[in-house]
Structure formats: C-alpha cells, structure tokens
Structure 1
Amino acid sequence: MGFPGVPRAATAAATLALLAACAGPGPSGPAEDPACAPYAAYHGQAGSTITVSSSIRGVEADKLVQAWAGFETCTGITIDYTGRADFEKSLPVEVAAGHVPDVALFPQPGLLALVARAGRLQPAPAAVADNVRRYFPADWQRYGTVDGELYGTPIDGNVKSLVWYSPKFFAAHGWTVPQTWAELIGLSDRIAGTGTKPWCAGIESGGSTGWPVTDWLEDVLLRTAGPAVYDEWVEHRIPFDDPRVVAALDRVGGILRNPRYVNGGLGGVASIATTAYQEAGLPILTHDCALHHQASFYTSFWPANADIAPDGDLYAFYLPPVDPAAGRPVLGAGVFAAAFTDRPEVQAFSLYLTTPDFADSRARTSGIVSSNKGLDRDVLTTPIGKLSAALLADPEAAFRFDGSDQMPAAVGAGTFWSGMTDWIRGADTATVLHRIETTWPA
C-alpha cells in the first residue's frame, strides 16, 4: 500500500507550474521508492523545513501530521508543526511583531481576513488557485477570499448540526431519535423524568472558552429565522442583538440554562463554564446524560474502544429543525491553509493541501470530511464521517459556515466567545448581545 499521490489531484498546468518552481535535484533515499513516484512533482526542496501553526492540538494534531507524512517522507521536506491553545489570540500579535509561521491553518475566515488585510499573507499561487476552483464549491472558495483575492484554501470540513447520543441507551428506554424541535424538547422532558439529566455540555477551551455556545446560537438561529436572516446577521446587515437573535439565544437557554436538563454527570448549570469541551460528552458513556450537541470532529475525543455506530455505544443524529417545512439547515465549519511566505517548498506544500489525495489521507487518518469534491467517500470508514459527508452532500440541505468564524476576529473570536461565557454564567440575554453589538468594528 503506497502513499496517496498527486496525479489525479493536480491539473497538468498546476504540475508544470510547480515543476518549474521546484526545479532541482529531488530528495535521495525515499524518492527512489516506487511508492513515492506520485510525489515527483513536489521534488527539489529536500532538506528544507516548513513551519506550520494552528489551533489543532493533542490527538487530533497527531492525526493531522499523519495525513501529510507521505509528503514529508517522499519529498524530504520537514513540516515543523505547532498546535497552540491561544492560536486565535496570539497570531495577530505575532503578525504585528513580524514573527509568523510559513503556513497557518485558520479555523476562522474572519481571522484570515484580518491577517490578510494586514498585508502579511501571500495570495494563493496560480496553481493553488486553479486547484481550489477545480475541487471546491463556490461558497468554500468565497470563505477563503479577501477583497477579491484568494488567500485561504480549504483543507478540512465538519458538520456542527449534530447531537451525540447512545443508541443502546435509547433502545433500553424505548426512546427514538426526534425529527422536530418539539420532539427534541419532549424527549428531553421524558429523560429528565427518569432522573437522568438529558444534556451535558462544556465550553472551557483555554483562550477560546465560550465557542460551543456560539454554535448552539447559530444552529438555532438557522432553524428559527432561516438562512437569509442568518447571513444578514453574520455580515452585520442587521444588529447583533436583533430581536430574532435574542429569541434564538433564549431558546438555547431553555436547554443549557435549564437546571432540569443539565449538566449530567458534571454538575449544575454553572459547571458548563468550567467543563472542558473535550470532556463534556463523556457522561453519555456512563449514562449520566443522554444528549450532547457537538460537531463531527468530536469523534476524536471519545475513547478508542467506544463503539460508534447506529446501534452502538455512541452515534449522532441531525439537530432537528423547528419547522421541517422550512428546510434542512446544516451548520458546519472548516480549516483554511494560508501562507506567509512564498518559497518553493511552501508553494509545493500548499498545492498538495488542495488535492483530493490529501483529503483522502486526512479522511483515512482521522475520519475528517473535506469539502473537496474529489474526496473518495469510500475511504471514510467511520459512521460519523459517512453521516457528515451525506449531510454536506444533501442537495436539500441549506449549508452555512459557522457564523462566529466569519465575523471580524474582534467579535467572532473575542467578544462573542466571552459574551457567551458570561451568558452561561447567568448574564441577561439581551444585555449580553447588545454588549457584543457595541464591539463590532466600524
């Protein structure tokens, strides 16, 4: 079994352009291995090092590094990766000081736009831009474009409109997966009636504490006000504290600030603010709670021996709509690679990240879904990966990118996060949302 390759991923023009950029002798040793033949287009920069930084840490960082291991081995280019808990807050400071990595992986288009407008990011080379246009939907291209220039190339995608649960636990109690919001609340009441807290949640995430509540608000706003209003809110064409947003957050509060509903196995409502999001769903395995709203990437935080399957210890269902007749909104997010330098080895790595081969490798190593249209779905071996791919490909679904990730970084990765933390601690809904509105950049 060889490493994933380049030929089906790169256009002929892209390959020729890259060969010209990377002229020179290829790496010795690994390059002579037939398994490395697909990486011939990237040769010529052996012995060089590329620094990469992002917010991806822990086990998921290990899987990310595995996804480009073939590129490293066969090209002789070392990828020096650093995952940081304070990435979103520290990167703008480092950009201002001139201390930047070669490549950053941005989880927020809003932060990417901030850095691009500071004049430090390199526009995507022609070969990279060609691949992005070939393999990614128009919306995903738009999220990486700033003032008409492509800077960020999508490499990961995920679905956030999911609720994790235990099919075995449900079956033992005769519970069924809800199809509407009313059924979801009815189910929560039935679970609470058994003495089990239906929901568990946690929002602690270091310098990013609070972001899980932003996902809740965005998911609910999509379901109550619709995608068009959601877009207006994200783009600040309506105030952050529009009455429809206030109503959506109050609906979220009916779950997260309801002492009958939370926080199973972890404490009361107040414990949500101090519970690490990575650990917040674990009480499902001990049946101390039954439901946990979290994205498809949460697969990485369950124990390795957990049976994740439609009839297993764990699985997930689509967060149901308030009004099924209004459509099926799907909230998601992703990661965008953008370069601060334009050295040949950086351009080679950037091109590789746009290919279906990297998307396939990422899926194999971590089960993470990409919005890359060339992704081979057969390599998705996890049930959640397949579920996520189906939701992203559903022609009837109205997909929207995470709102906080698109907003100006001062809000989306700043006052929105801190405001939701204050809200979970008991602050008034309208007051918190108005305070965030006042921080939107002029």
Structure 2
Amino acid sequence: MKRPRIAISRLAATAVALAVTATACSGLNSASGEQEFSGQTLTVAGSWTGGEGKNFRKVLDGFSKKTGAKVKFVSSRAQGRDDFALFIRDLRKAGKSPDVAMVPQVGVLQQFAQKGWLEPLPPRVELEAARNFALVWQNYGSVRRIFYGLYFKASHKSTVWYSPKAFEKADVLPPKDYKEMISAGQKLSRAGTPAFSVAGKDAWPLTDWFENIYLAQAGLTNYAKLATNEIGWTDPTVIKALKTFGKLFKSKDMVAGGGTEALRTDLNESVGAVYGKDPKAAMVYEGDFVAGIISGEFNRKVDDDANFFEFPPVGKGKQPPVISGGDAAVAMKDGKNKDMAMSFIEYLASPKAAEIWAKEGGFLSPNINLDLDAYPDETTRKVAKSLVDAGEAVQFDMSDQAPGDFGGTPGQGEWQLLQEFIRDPSDPEKTAQKLDQAAAKAYLDASATGTTG
C-alpha cells in the first residue's frame, strides 16, 4: 500500500515539450487556443459555496475569457450534499457526469481512478504541472504512477493562530517547540485567558490536531506508514501521540471549557473564541483558512489583530510538521467535453489561474511560480511561503488518505473515536485499540470494493 510516485525529470519535461510543440496540441498554450471553445459548455463540479464559490467563479470566468467557453459550476454543498464521492456517483448514474471534478480528498481521487471513472491527464498537462509544482503534489495526484489530478487549491494545516494582544498581556512569545507551547499556554491561563479553543464538534479538526502531533513526534517515516495502513493504530508511536494530545483536555485552563466545551464548539466558534468581541481563548489551531474566517466572519484585520506560528516540533531533534490538504482537478471519463476539460486543467496549472483567486483571499496555492505578492496580506504571504518552501517535506492530511468510513465520516471511525477521547482522555491504549479495529475494517471493506490506493 505504498503511496504512488510519479517523476518528471528535466530531460523528460524537455521531451514532452518538444512533443507538444511538434504535434501542435490544442490547449491554452497553442496558437489556436484563443476562443477555440466558443459556444461550447464545460461542466465543473466542486464542493465550494459562499465566498469560495464566488471566487472560484472568477477563476472560471478567466477560462471563459481566454477560450470563449461557457462554464457551468455545480456545487455539492449548495445542494445539501456533504459526501462529494456520493454526489459524483449519483450524477454519473443520472447521466449528468461533469467534465471536470474538483476532488477535495486524495482518497476520493484514488477511489475514482481505481473505479475507472477518470481520464489520465495528457503530456501537456503533466508538463505544466512539472513547471509549476513540487513533485510531491504530482505524486498526490497520481495513482499507480498515472497522473490524474492537478492540485489547484491547497491548505496549510500546520498553523497555530493567536491573539497578539493576549500574548502581549501575558508576556508570551510564539513558541519554538511543543514544550514551549504548553508552557506559554499555562502562562496565558495564569494571566486570565485559557490557551486554546478547540473545534471538537466538527470532529475533523481533531484529526488534524492528532496528525500534527503524530508527525511532529513520530517523524516522516512513521507518518507515511500510518497514513497508508502499513502500521496499526496500536503502534507505540500512536499511543504516545494520543497521550500528548490527551494532556490538553485534562485541564480547563489549557482548553477553554475542557473536552466538554470543545465538543460543543464548531470551527467558526473556535475562531470566534479568540477573535470575537468576547475572547475566551488566546489560540486556535487549524489551517490557513482560519485567516479567511477572522477577516470574513469577525471583521478583524489579519495583519493587525491576528498572527500565526508554525505547529511546533514535539521532542528534541524533531522537525516542525507541514501537513496539507487540497482540491484536485480531475477529468471525468464519461464527461462530454474531454479536450476542453484537459485545456481547463492545463489552465488551472498556470500561475495566472491561481493569481485570480489569490488576490481575493481565502486561498492558498502550491504553485511555486505564483508571485507571493498576489496574496492580499503579509500574513497569508508568510503562510504560502511556508507551504511552498516545505517542498517534498509536505505530508498530505492522513484522514483524507484513509477510506471515508474511517477518516471522513461524521459519527463513525476516527472522527467519532477522537471525539470520545477528548471527552475522556484517561485511556489512550483503549482508544488506540478502537481506532485500530475501525481502521482495519474500513481498509478491508475498501479493498473488497476497490476503493483504496
């Protein structure tokens, strides 16, 4: 169950470039690219709504302006559908498969590829990806060495957001390691502000908490093995990480209201607990998208009222974790406009497409050639630089790599078990056993139906 790898060397990239030039492939980089799809309609499916949906619409408008194509965007969440895989399945059954799907989980991308639902991306898209993305992002878009998915939007899930005002009041500086972070939390508490607000109601932030602790403590090799089910959840490294995580919830001073309050708190509420009118905590851990919530929901200026530090390493000699997630553009095999779909994905691979959304905020791109000045504030530029500079050290969200029944479904699997754990963190060994049993069943079921990588 090794993670797939795809490598495009400079020589190979040059060869592909010559081949593309020689065959005069259609696409945005060809001479015939101007308005070549005038009068045709491309259907793109994704999960974005609200501000994200509006900003992605601007990216689609950029493609329309370039090619003349009309683009119809279908949002799963706008239709009340939280499970993107089931949403696409139902569209296919109804004969309404989109031309392109913006897949929000690497496990779902692998599932679609193994079911034979996806069209491999052509050499010209591979070339554009090789120009603009670190190899790790091409790997995550590949299944059995075949390139299917172009990661357009990314998230940096190793950022801890804090209130500069609370830190200044308690005379606290951003910590350099996990031990310092706990010490800072205790000092903040003594100054009158609990350290963290945790979004336990949503459950998925708990998986992100665990993954950052695990990667920061157990290292890259163990993380990769656990993410691909090569080691079990009863491994000593897992139990050690659960113990570290559980310590946060043994005191209401470290987490506002303890585990009980965390289970009543969703992501927006956890951010509001730090940046709202009545602050209840000094820090909130989650990804770069917290910046968008701070400015959009709570009308705070990120550069002035908020700042972040990278999730710190756990233990001597350890490296800080860099965990990411993202949305990958894939071409559906039963889509009606395959050539236009490939040109659209080639367009998404360009810095120009990423720049459109970057300027609007609430967006992070793994595109190494996107000018950081495109981002609207200095804080986001710092987060983006941290992600790009991590290069091959980036690790993809572990729960997103797992079968959905274990890593991505409310009320079951890892989500439910970590919620139970923060309510009562007294027995990490028992929690590890339950996680191991749930993971084993999910991977077995997924293997039987051909839905794992």
Normalized against structure 1, the TM-score is what?
0.84
Would the alpha carbon gap of residues 352 and 329 (structure 1) be closer, same or farther in structure 2, given more than 3 Å must change? same
CA apart distance, 1:92: 6.0
Partner deviation per Cα, 1:206-264 (whole Å, 9 max, x = no partner): xxx4211111111001111111111111111111332211221221122246433223x
* Letter matched to residue 63 of structure 2: F
**Quick check: 1:102 aligned with 2:124?**
no
CA apart distance, 1:418: 3.3
| Structure 1 spans left out of the alignment, 5+ residues | 1-9, 23-36
Deviation above 4 Å: which 4+ runs of structure 1? 10-19, 37-40
CA contact (8 A) 1:307 1:314 kept: yes
- The equivalent residue for 1:300 is 292
Output the CA distance in 1 between the equivalents of 2:365 and 2:88: 26
1:145 corresponds, among 142, 145, 169, to: 142
CA contact (8 A) 1:45 1:75 kept: yes
Describe the SS at the equivalent of 1:82: strand
- The equivalent residue for 1:44 is 36
1:90 corresponds, among 82, 86, 90, to: 86
**Quick check: 1:238 aligned with 2:235?**
no
Matches within 5 A, 1:38-187: 41=33, 43-85=35-77, 86-88=82-84, 90-91=86-87, 93-94=89-90, 97=93, 99-187=96-184
- The equivalent residue for 1:281 is 271
Describe the SS at the equivalent of 1:164: strand
* Letter matched to residue 420 of structure 2: D
Partner deviation per Cα, 1:393-434 (whole Å, 9 max, x = no partner): 436993211111222333332322333333344475224323
Describe the SS at the equivalent of 1:326: coil
* Letter matched to residue 405 of structure 1: D
- Count of aligned pairs: 410
CA apart distance, 1:378: 2.4
CA apart distance, 1:39: 10
Would the alpha carbon gap of residues 396 and 89 (structure 1) be closer, same or farther in structure 2, given more than 3 Å must change? closer
**Quick check: 1:384 aligned with 2:379?**
yes
1:366 corresponds, among 361, 365, 368, to: 361
CA apart distance, 1:113: 0.3
**Quick check: 1:269 aligned with 2:259?**
yes
Output the CA distance in 2 between the equivalents of 1:104 and 1:413: 19
Output the CA distance in 2 between the equivalents of 1:315 and 1:180: 17
**Quick check: 1:334 aligned with 2:336?**
no
Moved more, 320-329 or 230-239: 320-329
**Identity over the aligned pairs, expressed in percent?**
29
- The equivalent residue for 1:394 is 389
Describe the SS at the equivalent of 2:344: helix
Would the alpha carbon gap of residues 280 and 320 (structure 1) be closer, same or farther in structure 2, given more than 3 Å must change? same
Describe the SS at the equivalent of 1:288: coil
**Quick check: 1:349 aligned with 2:339?**
no
Would the alpha carbon gap of residues 146 and 40 (structure 1) be closer, same or farther in structure 2, given more than 3 Å must change? same
- The equivalent residue for 2:3 is none
Describe the SS at the equivalent of 1:52: strand
Output the CA distance in 2 between the equivalents of 1:273 and 1:48: 48
Output the CA distance in 2 between the equivalents of 1:296 and 1:344: 34
Would the alpha carbon gap of residues 299 and 360 (structure 1) be closer, same or farther in structure 2, given more than 3 Å must change? same
- The equivalent residue for 2:417 is 419
CA contact (8 A) 1:66 1:365 kept: no
* Letter matched to residue 282 of structure 2: A
Moved more, 187-196 or 83-92: 83-92
Moved more, 250-259 or 286-295: 250-259
CA contact (8 A) 1:158 1:369 kept: yes
Normalized against structure 2, the TM-score is what?
0.82
* Letter matched to residue 186 of structure 2: D
Output the CA distance in 2 between the equivalents of 1:16 and 1:357: 25
Cα root mean square deviation, aligned: 2.8
- The equivalent residue for 2:450 is none
Would the alpha carbon gap of residues 65 and 39 (structure 1) be closer, same or farther in structure 2, given more than 3 Å must change? farther
Partner deviation per Cα, 1:35-89 (whole Å, 9 max, x = no partner): xx99962522223222222232322222222233222234332322233341335
- The equivalent residue for 2:188 is 191
CA contact (8 A) 1:328 1:396 kept: no
| Structure 2 spans left out of the alignment, 5+ residues | 1-15, 445-453
Output the CA distance in 2 between the equivalents of 1:435 and 1:166: 40
CA apart distance, 1:125: 2.3
CA apart distance, 1:17: 6.4
Describe the SS at the equivalent of 2:229: coil
- The equivalent residue for 1:31 is none
CA apart distance, 1:12: 7.9
CA contact (8 A) 2:387 2:394 kept: yes
CA contact (8 A) 2:134 2:392 kept: no
Describe the SS at the equivalent of 2:263: helix
CA contact (8 A) 2:134 2:391 kept: no
Describe the SS at the equivalent of 1:292: strand
CA contact (8 A) 2:43 2:73 kept: yes
CA contact (8 A) 1:196 1:289 kept: yes
**Quick check: 1:248 aligned with 2:241?**
yes
CA contact (8 A) 1:198 1:290 kept: yes
Would the alpha carbon gap of residues 150 and 409 (structure 1) be closer, same or farther in structure 2, given more than 3 Å must change? farther
Output the CA distance in 1 between the equivalents of 2:422 and 2:88: 27
Output the CA distance in 2 between the equivalents of 1:66 and 1:38: 23
Describe the SS at the equivalent of 1:317: strand
Would the alpha carbon gap of residues 268 and 320 (structure 1) be closer, same or farther in structure 2, given more than 3 Å must change? closer
* Letter matched to residue 192 of structure 2: G
Partner deviation per Cα, 1:92-117 (whole Å, 9 max, x = no partner): 64277365322111221111001111
Describe the SS at the equivalent of 1:328: coil
Output the CA distance in 2 between the equivalents of 1:203 and 1:64: 29
CA apart distance, 1:317: 0.8
CA contact (8 A) 1:332 1:402 kept: yes
Matches within 5 A, 1:22-33: none
